[in-house]
A = this chain, B = another copy of it.
Amino acid sequence: MSEMTTEEWSRKVKEGDRRAVAKLISAIERKEKIARDVLKLLYKPVGKTITVGVTGSAGSGKSCLVSCLIGAFRKRGKTVGVVAVDPSSPFTGGAFLGDRLRMQTHGRDKGVYMRSMASRGYLGGLARGTVDVMRVMEAMGNDVVIVETVGTGQDEVEVARLVQTCLVVLTPNMGDDIQAMKAGIMEIAHVVVLNKFDMPGKEKALLDLEIALKMRSAPEDGWYVPIVPTVATEDKGIGDLTEQIEKHQEHLRKVVGLRKFAFKKAEKEGSVLVKDEMERIIFDSLKGTGLRRKYLDRIVDGEIDPYTAVEEVLSLFIKKSSKEG
C-alpha cells in the first residue's frame, strides 16, 4: 500500500476501497504530507453528497439520533458516512452500552462508513481534520455524510458551519442549555430537533423554542428554521426530521444555489486550512533551532514580555509586506 502513487491512492478511495480510505484517514490523523497530496486529487467543488451536521450537548441523545438517521437514509437506499467529533460519542467508546450496540449494527452494514475523531489527537487542528475526513467520505461516493459534534466549543461550531444542513439537538430539560443556544449556537441551526420529547415539560420547552425562533429577525437566505420533536430511543419523529433535511437541501439547491454554498464553504474551509498550515510552518521552522526554549526562558525570567517575543519570532518567518515582497 505504501508503494502506491498518490494517483492510485486517490483512485482507490474514489472506488470506495475501505482499506485505502482507512489508510488515508490515518495519514490525515498523523498529519502526513502525503495525505494532503491525495486530498488535492480528491477535491471537487460541488458534489452530489448531502452533508448533515448534528450538534448538541452531551446527554441530548444526538448519537442515538445519528443512529436513527443512518437507518432512515439506508432504508432509502442511500450510503452514509459518519464523522463523530465528540469525546462522549459511542464511536469513541465514551457512551452507554445501548448506543454502542445500536451503532455496531450499522458497523456491519457495507453501506455505512463510520469514523471518530478524538479531540485530543487534533489539538489545534480539529476543524482541519474533520474537513479532510469529510472530503474523503464524499470522495468515496457516500450519498450522505453526517458529522456529529458537541455543540459548545468554537472549534465545534466551526465544524458545524462546514456542513450543508445543520441540526441542533435540544431536550426539554435543558433550561440552561436552551438559553445558551439562544445566545449563540442557534445561529448555525437549519433545523432544531427537540429530542426526548417524552419528558415532563416537553410542551413548555416546545413553546419556549417556538417563541425564541419567532423573535429572530427574518432569515437572510429565506430559510425559516423548523422545530422537529423526536424520541430517538423509540425512533419517533425521524420521518419528519428527514423530511425537513430534504426540504432544507431543496432550499439550498433551488433558492441559495449550490455555487453560493460552495463559495461560502470554500471561505470557511480556507480560513481553517490557513490557520492549520501556518501553525505547521512555524512549528517546522522552529524545530531544532533552540529559539523556542530561548524565548520561553527569557519570558519566564522577565527579560521580555510574551507579546514582544511572539512579534520577534514571527518576524523571522513572515515577509515584511506582501505588497513589497
A interface with B by C-beta (< 8 Å): 36, 39-41, 43-46, 57-59, 86-88, 92, 94-96, 119-120, 122-124, 126, 150, 152-157, 174-177, 179-180, 182-185, 259, 262-263, 266-267, 269-271, 273-275, 277-279, 281-282, 285-286, 289, 292, 295-297, 299-302, 305-311, 313-314, 316-319, 321-323, 325
Known A275-B124, A316-B322, A317-B322; contact A155-B152, beta-carbon cutoff 8 A: no
Chain B: minimal CB distance from A102 (Å) = 15
A269 — nearest CB in chain B belongs to which residue? B306
Which residues from B are CB-within-8-Å of A319?
316-319
Choose among B179, B183, B273, B292 the residue that contacts A310 (Cβ–Cβ < 8 A): B273
Which residues from B are CB-within-8-Å of A40?
305, 307-308
Given contacts A270-B296, A285-B322, 16 further A-B contacts (CB under 8 A): A40-B308, A41-B305, A59-B176, A87-B183, A88-B176, A88-B177, A92-B183, A150-B153, A154-B156, A270-B295, A275-B279, A277-B311, A278-B279, A285-B321, A286-B322, A318-B319
Which residues from B are CB-within-8-Å of A180?
58, 86-88, 94, 150
Which residues from B are CB-within-8-Å of A92?
183
Chain B: minimal CB distance from A192 (Å) = 16
Interface centre among A153, A157, A273 (most CB of B within 10 A): A153
Give complex CA distance A167, B155 in Å. Answer: 22
Q: Is the CB of B266 within 8 A of A314?
A: no
Chain B: minimal CB distance from A308 (Å) = 6
Known A59-B174, A281-B314; contact A119-B43, beta-carbon cutoff 8 A: no
Choose among B152, B176, B316, B323 the residue that contacts A325 (Cβ–Cβ < 8 A): B316
Chain B: minimal CB distance from A164 (Å) = 15
* Oligomer: number of copies: 2
Give complex CA distance A266, B301 in Å. Answer: 11
A265 — nearest CB in chain B belongs to which residue? B300
Which residues from B are CB-within-8-Å of A43?
302, 305-307
Q: Is the CB of A183 within 8 A of B318?
A: no
Give complex CA distance A325, B286 in Å. Answer: 13
Chain B: minimal CB distance from A279 (Å) = 6
Give complex CA distance A180, B43 in Å. Answer: 34
Known A152-B150, A322-B317; contact A300-B182, beta-carbon cutoff 8 A: no
Choose among B44, B300, B317 the residue that contacts A262 (Cβ–Cβ < 8 A): B300
Which residues from B are CB-within-8-Å of A124?
154, 271, 275
Which residues from B are CB-within-8-Å of A306?
43, 266, 269-270, 273
Choose among B277, B282, B325 the residue that contacts A274 (Cβ–Cβ < 8 A): B282
Which residues from B are CB-within-8-Å of A86?
180
